[in-house]
Amino acid sequence: MTADPLKFTPPVLLAPMAGITDLPYRSLVARFGAGLVVSEMVASQELLSRRPGTREKAELGLGVVGTSVQLAGREAEPMAEAARMVEAMGAEIIDINMGCPAKKVTQGASGSALMKTPDHALRLIEAVVGAVNVPVTLKTRLGWDDNMLNAAPIAKRAVDAGVQMITIHGRTRCQFYKGHADWAAIRAVKEAVSVPVIANGDITSSQNARQALALSGADGVMIGRGAQGRPWLLAQIAHDLYGYPAPEVPTGAAFADMVAEHFEAILQFYGRDLGGRVARKHLGWYMDHAGTPADLRRALLTAREVDTTFALIAAAMTPEHAVAA
């Protein structure tokens, strides 16, 4: 492999989030500025069986620079075949999911459940690395639980197999999203491998991004839930920590226009019926940022007609409701 996954700059990445980091949202975050945007998790078996929806999740779109597609699975050959498929579709980087804590994923021996079977996990990693010519990365957690904190040895074996970057969410699987991410615990992974390590978990501002880097020794940060409703957050962190140009954070009418454009992109991607439902969570997060009154919020989220939704977006994102970024 000749590609270097850390040629992307800045080292501020968008985390894969199921049902959130679809093409419209990745495109919006990338427009503000991000070193890498990662797709929502794509199940390898579903992709291969052409189950409705999975191809759309993996779709990259032309002009989206610095994109990774995250694959999940429990068997080596389907993972390898799915990796070849998404490479052919234009994936620049393929990420292996060993961090998802959801029961429906771990009960199928995928996601963070693979941390309980490191030898089997390594066979999956080797299969994916051997199947493609683009860089392969790995995202995982600190371990399955407090009695199985094995991220560092797994990371070392993965790097020996050809993985070129490791992202660590600073929790165990059994923590799910409770408590606070342990950024200091990521340092053991950084000391175990020679490739870049990215810190993930609870990074919601430039201040705690700087703290996460200091405690973990990591080479960059990955932002997930902190960017919900604030697609410019990655660019803001890149500016504050690395001196990249500051994003133009939209306010007032500009903020309403951005939300309307995102809504329109969602409708075009999914169709009007499904798109209207998919958009609600994003509209909710935007209204959290804007401080929209409860009655207007309720009206927007229950609107049945697209034209009504567009009109309410303009009202809900007005300057007098804006809050600080």
88 is in an annotated binding site: no
210 is in an annotated binding site: no
Q: Which superfamily does CATH assign the domain made up of 5-242 to?
A: Aldolase class I (3.20.20.70)
Categorize the per-residue pLDDT at 80 as very low, low, confident or very high, splitting at 50, 70 and 90. very high
Confidence at residue 66, expressed as pLDDT on a 0 to 100 scale:
73
271-315 pLDDT, tens digit each: 998 999 999 999 999 999 999 999 999 999 999 899 999 999 989
Residues in the chain, how many?
325
Q: Are 13 and 42 in contact (CB under 8 A)?
A: no
Average pLDDT, the chain: 88
Confidence at residue 48, expressed as pLDDT on a 0 to 100 scale:
82
Q: Where are the domains of the chain?
A: 5-242, 252-321
- Taking alpha carbons only, the member of 224, 231, 229, 228 closest to residue 31 is 231
Q: Which residue has the tokens 């503000």?
A: 32
Confidence at residue 85, expressed as pLDDT on a 0 to 100 scale:
87
Q: Are 169 and 200 in contact (CB under 8 A)?
A: yes
Query: Which residues have a catalytic role annotated?
Result: 100
Confidence at residue 175, expressed as pLDDT on a 0 to 100 scale:
84
- Can you say how many angstroms the Cα of residue 254 is from the centroid of all Cα atoms in its chain? 25
Would strands 197-200 and 42-43 be described as parallel, antiparallel, or unpaired? unpaired
163-201 pLDDT, tens digit each: 999 999 999 988 878 889 999 999 999 999 999 999 999
16 is in an annotated binding site: yes
Confidence at residue 324, expressed as pLDDT on a 0 to 100 scale:
41
